[in-house]
Amino acid sequence: MPELPEVETVVRGLRPRLEGHRLARVDQHRPDLRFPLPPNFAERLTGRRIERIFRRAKYILARLDDGQVLLCHLGMSGRMTIHEPEGGGPLAPLDRHDHVVFTNDQGTEIRFNDARRFGIMDLFAGEALDDHPLLRALGPEPLGNAFNGPALAAALKGRRSLIKAALLDQRVVAGLGNIYVCEALFLAGLSPRRQAYTVQGARAERLAAAVRAVLQRAIEAGGSSLRDYVQADGELGYFQHQWAVYGREGEACPGCDCEPSRSGGIARIVQSGRSTFFCSRRQR
C-alpha cells in the first residue's frame, strides 16, 4: 500500500498538470471503487478549475473553484499515470483498470488505475473538509508543526498497546504505515515490543524526530530518483528506497558491529498480522 511519502510524491507530480488547470473532461468507467462514486461525479467535476492540490495523511485532496473538494485514496493498488499528447499523436490506449480519467485543458490525461478497486474517491463541499468521516479523527501531520516530542508523549500516555500499534493508529499521528514505523523505531533505538505508555520524555523526543527524518528522507529520495516525480511509464510516486531494517531479515543493520551469522542479524516478527523488522541489540 502506498504510504505517506509515496502519496506526497504523487501530489507533487500532479500539481503542474492539474493545479490552476480546468478539467476539460472527466470519464468515469464504473460506478464504484471501494465505495460507490458520488452521484453525478463526472458531471460535477467537468469544467471545474483546480485551485489547490494537497495531502492529508494518505489522502490526496483537490480544492475546486466552486468550493467543492475532490478526495482520493490510492488504496492497496491504486496509482496515477500521466499521459501527455506529443506532436498531436494519439495517447496510449486505456487499460481495463483505468477507472477514472481526468483530462485537463491542455489535453493531458491523468488516469486512476486500480486493479483491486480498494481506492476511494469522494466529492463534497469544502466547508465540510474537517468533518469528513475519513478525515475528522486524524491525528497531527508528522511533518507539521503540531507534531513533536511533547505532543507524541501526550498521545501515548496511558496507552497499554505496543508502540508500533500505537504509531499505526491514525488518531495518534496521521499517515504512518508499516514500513516507516519500522524505520522510525530503528532510528530512535526503540523496540517495537515496547509498550506505548513508556515512550515519554527523551524517548518521545527521539521518536518524533526519527519519524520526521525517515519521512523527509523518503520524500527526498522520491523526488531525486524520479524526473519531475514521473517515471518513464508515466506512473507517479513509486521509487526504490534502501531501508535500514525493513525487508532485511537476517542482514546486519547499518552501524551495527554484530556478526549476523552469530546474532541472526535483523529480526522479523509478526505483530497484528504485519511484519516488523528490527535490531534486538540496538532497539530497547
Tens-digit pLDDT profile for residues 5-15: 889 989 998 99
Residue with cell 517495537: 192
Q: Which of 254, 222, 265, 169 is nearest to 11 (CA)?
A: 222
Tens-digit pLDDT profile for residues 51-96: 999 999 999 999 999 999 999 999 988 899 999 887 767 888 999 9
* Highest mean pLDDT, choosing among 155-164, 219-228, 255-264: 155-164
165: CATH: 1.10.8.50
The catalytic position among 17, 56, 58, 79 is 58
Please report, for residues 42, 77, 134, the alpha-carbon distance to residue 122 in angstroms, rounded to integers and kept in the order given: 11, 18, 10
To the query of whether residue 96 is one of the catalytic residues in this protein, the response is no
Please report, for residues 23, 38, 87, 101, the alpha-carbon distance to residue 42 in angstroms, rounded to integers and kept in the order given: 10, 9, 28, 9
Q: Is residue 139 part of a domain?
A: no
Tens-digit pLDDT profile for residues 21-53: 999 999 999 999 999 999 999 999 999 999 999
The catalytic position among 217, 274, 281, 282 is 274
To the query of whether residue 85 is one of the catalytic residues in this protein, the response is no
Residue 127: is it exposed, middle or buried by C-beta count within 10 angstroms (0-12/13-18/19+)? exposed
To the query of whether residue 58 is one of the catalytic residues in this protein, the response is yes
Q: Is the CB of residue 70 less than 8 Å from the CB of residue 41?
A: no
To the query of whether residue 274 is one of the catalytic residues in this protein, the response is yes
Range of the domain at 31: 4-131
Residues 216 and 229: their CA atoms lie apart, in Å, by: 15
The catalytic position among 2, 5, 140, 142 is 2
Residue with cell 485514496: 73
Domain boundary among 131, 166, 190: 131
Domain boundary among 82, 100, 131: 131
Q: Is residue 231 part of a domain?
A: no
